[in-house]
Chains A and B, each alone.
Chain A
Amino acid sequence: MALVEAGLERPGWLARLAQEHARVFFFSLGKLARAPLAAALTALVIGIALALPAGLYVLTRNLASVGYSWQESLQISLFLKDSVAEERGAALARELRAEIGVSKTNYISRAQSLADFKAQSGFGDALAILQDNPLPAVIAVTPNRKLGKAGVEELAARLGRLPEVDLAKLDQKWLERLYALLDIAQRSVGIVAILLGVAVMVIIGNTIRLDIEARREEVEVMKLIGAPDSFIRRPFLYAGFWHGLLGGLLAWILVAAGVQALGAPAEQLAQAYGSQFRLAGLPWTDGLALLGAGVVLGWAGAFVTVGRRLALIEPR
């Protein structure tokens, strides 16, 4: 094609690309800064949408850590037959310490059980009516931590077959229920995250659509003077990027604020149960992932919208 255009060398494509992206980066940021209220509202909507799954995620993480900490304090209670003498019970407790998978045992005699029960339950007076001590002697067995769930169950079954033992009780039904609930909760987090991720894309897509409509004439002029679609698209994609980034940042702040607000009551609750549990916030790696999710969703939402919208605008 004959060209009079002369006299200027274009920089290499990499330099052109870098210059263009740097230009649009600041240009689109400037656009946002010139309409701070609209930008803030968009960021708020996206932030809330992202904060919901992120908050649920933090909640399930904390519940899971509660579960783990309780699993560590898991005990097998061996209720001894009443016929077993106190000396024999104490000796059995010492013998069991040598068993594989046992880290600690503690013998609690019938008298001690009764004393503990009186002191802790508040039913002491009621027990005084009874003539015999109804409580059995107990050996509390702490399994080795390295023992898995199946290993602990097997140990409990094995100890339950000892002649002195009436009943071996591994009270972990509630733990299993907690894990089942956690599983459901974690899956719900996934589903909620997907749904709200789509919502974020739609929100950003709609924001960009309105933006394109408002700048329809500008797009037409750009097309008239030979701007390729990639050039026209870029500011809108960057706008999506900024919306997503600000939304992700806001979501992070919202989650952190929520953890902060719930931290003290959660600690009180934990103390009431004699636990050292403290509410954990979003680790910074997950926070960065949240920002990344915002950016990717923002960019994608803008991309889907811009491609369709720009094709509809043809210069008259």
Chain B
Amino acid sequence: MSPPASDIVRFDQLAYRYPGGQDVLSGVSFSIAQGEMVYVTGPSGAGKSTLLRLIAALCRPTRGQLVVMGQNLSALKNRHIPAYRQHIGLVFQNFNLLYDRTVFDNVALPLVIRGYAYADIGRRTRAALDAVGLLNREKSLPLTLSGGEQQRVGIARAIVTKPALILADEPTGNLDPEMALEVMRGFQRFNEAGVTVMIATHAIDLIEALPHRIIHLEHGQITDKRPTAASQLGDRHGAR
């Protein structure tokens, strides 16, 4: 069976083992269609981050196949990784901003790396900042912003190149619930504009508020179980 051409990410019996020898993922198979929005859930240590890191070519599969945007990552040469990574927008829990540069410079960086003309960089960067509602803060330094605003800067940096795929690893982990919902709504808006979005998250209430397909990992494998909310855990505990 050949996968549909519209698959943007395809895992095939993929296994990943830490150099130390501990299995993180084993026999993971799934695919994500172009334009989908997917949550990756599961307890801490289940392999959510590793899944996203594999797609971003931050680590290499131990066994199995991983094809992203038609590129088999096992065949990707080290020196081609930067060019490959430029096609993906990455959003992190700890924002990973450059704190000695302005918001504008942070967001513009991926465009500077690609070598666009300055006039175009200015236009695109302001468009991205506008999309996350931070156009008036372009001259600020990141540390003068709130956590939610910093994460929006991170998101603007991820979308400024208009990537086909956005990977977000616990993007709301450091945010209060209101800001978290705002950030998730932002991802949904980009998804509606046609971008494929994968979000690794613990935030069950957000998933329930904005439902999309869920890939649930436990002990390095995909299961049919569904993430449990903290409230339910409390109930079960109380029932005993």
Contacts and interface: CB of A to CB of B under 8 A. Distances in A.
A2 B82 contact: no
Nearest to B89: A225
Interface string A1-35: 11111111011000111011001000000000000
Contact of A2 (B56, B69, B85, B157): B69
A229 interface: yes
A11 B114 CA distance: 10
Nearest to B193: A4
B86 A226 contact: yes
Contacts of A17: 115
Interface residues of B, number: 38
Given A11-B115, A11-B116, A225-B157, A3 B83 contact: no
A225 B97 CA distance: 11
A10 B113 CA distance: 11
Nearest to A223: B82
A231 interface: yes
Contacts of A221: 96-98
B124 interface: yes
A7 B162 contact: yes
Interface in A109-141: none
Nearest to B111: A8
Q: Which of A3, A6, A223 has the most CB of B within 10 A?
A: A3
B164 A4 contact: yes
B12 to A, nearest CB: 19
Given A224-B96, A225-B110, A226-B110, A2 B86 contact: no
Interface string B23-61: 000000000001000000000000000000000101000
Contacts of A2: 8, 34, 69-70, 164
Contact of B71 (A1, A20, A217, A228): A1
Contacts of A229: 82
Interface in B123-137: 124
Nearest to A218: B98
A151 interface: no
A222 B117 CA distance: 19
B170 to A, nearest CB: 14
Contacts of A20: 112, 115
Contact of A225 (B84, B109, B162, B194): B109
Interface in B63-92: 69-71, 82-88, 90, 92
Give me the 8 closest cross-chain CB pairs, A-B, nearest first. A226-B85, A16-B115, A226-B86, A228-B82, A4-B164, A227-B113, A221-B96, A5-B162
20 contacts: A1-B71, A2-B70, A3-B164, A5-B162, A5-B164, A8-B116, A8-B120, A16-B115, A19-B118, A23-B112, A218-B100, A220-B96, A221-B96, A221-B98, A225-B90, A225-B157, A226-B83, A226-B85, A227-B109, A227-B113
